[in-house]
Structure 1
Amino acid sequence: MKPIKFLSLCAGPMLLAIVAGAAINHKTEPVKSADQTINGKGFALLELFTSEGCSSCPSADELLAKIQKESQGKPVYVLAYHVDYWNQLGWKDIFSNADYSKRQKEYSYTLNAQVYTPQVVINGKSEAVGSDERALRNAIAEGLAGSPSANITLQAQQNGDKLTVNYQVTSGSATDKLLLAVVQKSAVSKVKAGENDGRTLTHAQIVRGLYPVKLTPEKKGVSTIKLPQGFNTQGWEVVGFVQSKTNGEILSATKAQFSATSTAAL
């Protein structure tokens, strides 16, 4: 197992800013042209680890929101995980979840990377500073030019406070994991303490729940999950992705297609 490189949380803000600045200054390859033809049937899943308590994070939140808007109709999926380890420094992020901090830590092992914010993991295979637009756009272009190692289809129906998801996965390994992310598309927060004290922050693609699905031997079936309060099919979405249990690579990703909604609870 690779050793974890974890930045001290006690001195977190200063160290995180230093790491972010150093990473942005690293030499990168030229960004892919916006009108460049991308050959391939690939996808790009961007997992942003962020926090309302981090002064370096709003610029990353804005960039990922911009990418999400520009990528409508393309297989580009943005997930923003609000980690909880900044909560001890003066402001509790209402969207934070210890499970997301754990997920970031797991990536630190598979990618042999540091734990910091804002950090983006692309297709489970590489990571970059969340505000580094050049690095992210290059990674997206690379992902779109590739081919998925598996295929996934999702059909969902809301039944009161529950969501029923029909899934089917083809190809891949028998040990692969299917995860469903329930995503709130946008939110606004007024921060009253910490590094962003006094700022009004706009968030996009906030993960409000991440649910593993136990795949059947046939890799198809039905899963039911409890929805967060306020869920609706206009302001929220469900992103499903298949992840290798061996190396953390994302093999396929898609959005759930919603069928007619029923108001009756299960």
Structure 2
Amino acid sequence: MSFLRRLFRRKKPAPLVCSITLDDNGNPVGDDPNHQHTGACFVDFEPLALVELFQSQGCVSCPPAVPSIIKAATERPNRLLLTYNVTLFDHLGWKDTLASNGPGDQRQRAYVKRWGRNTLFTPQVVVNGLADASGAKGAGEVHETVDRARSGIQLPWHVYLDANDTELRIDSDAPGQHSHGHSHSHTTTETESTDGVPTTAAAAAPSTPVYDILVATYRSSDQNIKIGKGPNKGKKLPHHNAVIDITKAGQWQGGDLTVPLPVPKSAMHHGTEAVAFLQEGPGGPIIAAAKI
């Protein structure tokens, strides 16, 4: 991936295999300015899966379940676990210390609304905005949820998201809003399969749907918070990659696009990291993600 990073920092098309030649020093030369992206341009690799964990310090089910969820979500490559604390159980005598000003409540409710449900629960594991589970059954349930999410999205085009210190870059053969030619554009629609998992499928539409370009900042160090009151008094709850904030950096609707980061990576506070991702509206499917 270091070679692809060098290509991006030189603002060359990111991971292309059909239009780049190298000189004796390994530098790209001779790019075709009239090149049109096709499916053959994109390297086939397993993309980063975004695993979102919604938990509460006042939830009696969280202390026993969360450690195994964290282990399962982090023990395999190409996964990133983000933790959101929610206020769902603050009325039981202990206000969650990380939930009051966090984005957890809003994101969890957006998923519930999108999926047509009327209940909230913790712990809840959501993968790529497509598949969810409680995670209480252990590692196998988390792995199975990731697999369902990976197979639940079917796009008629490719998209690749990458970042340097100051910019996010999206490379795609998806037809842009002002695309010309004979390409067929599609949108994604959600249906619920027999096992209750929202599935994204391709359907004919006039243009590529609009995706929000989001940047989530999170604490890179783990926290193990001792709970002082309520049903979990005296217990400790681990927090892995606790999300601090989510910022909308723009919107994408096909084609190639470069947008500035809300905050340059070099200016982020010590102990803070970030990930960018493309999501089809609140509670929608996440089709690409990249650590910054």
Partner of 1:194: 230
Closer/same/farther in 2, CA of residues 177 and 91 from structure 1, 3 Å limit = same
TM-score normalised by the chain length of structure 1? 0.67
Is structure 2 residue 92 aligned with structure 1 residue 89? yes
Cα deviation code 1:11-62 (max 9, x no counterpart): xxxxxxxxxxxxxxxxxxxxxxxxxxxx952432111111111111123321
Could you tell me how far apart the structure 1 residues matched to 2:54 and 2:164 are?
27
Shift of 1:70: 1.1
SS in structure 2 at match of 1:192 = coil
Partner of 1:154: 163
Between the two structures, name the one with larger relative contact order (CA 8 Å, sep ≥ 6): 1
SS in structure 1 at match of 2:240 = strand
Aligned residue runs from structure 1 range 1-266, under 5 A = 41-71=46-76, 74-96=77-99, 97=101, 99-113=103-117, 114-133=119-138, 134-143=140-149, 149-156=158-165, 165-171=166-172, 173=208, 175-185=210-220, 186-215=222-251, 219-225=257-263, 231-232=269-270, 235-245=271-281, 248-256=284-292
Residues 62, 203 of structure 1: 8 Å contact kept: no
Indicate the percent of aligned positions where both proteins have the same amino acid: 26
TM-score normalised by the chain length of structure 2? 0.62
Q: Structure 2 unaligned runs (5+)? A: 1-43, 175-207
Aligned-CA RMSD value:
2.8
SS in structure 2 at match of 1:214 = strand
SS in structure 1 at match of 2:262 = strand
Q: Structure 1 unaligned runs (5+)? A: 1-38, 157-164, 257-266
Shift of 1:103: 1.2
Closer/same/farther in 2, CA of residues 143 and 103 from structure 1, 3 Å limit = closer
Shift of 1:68: 4.2
Q: How many residues align?
A: 204
Query: Highest CA radius of gyration, 1 or 2?
Result: 2
Residues 91, 193 of structure 1: 8 Å contact kept: yes
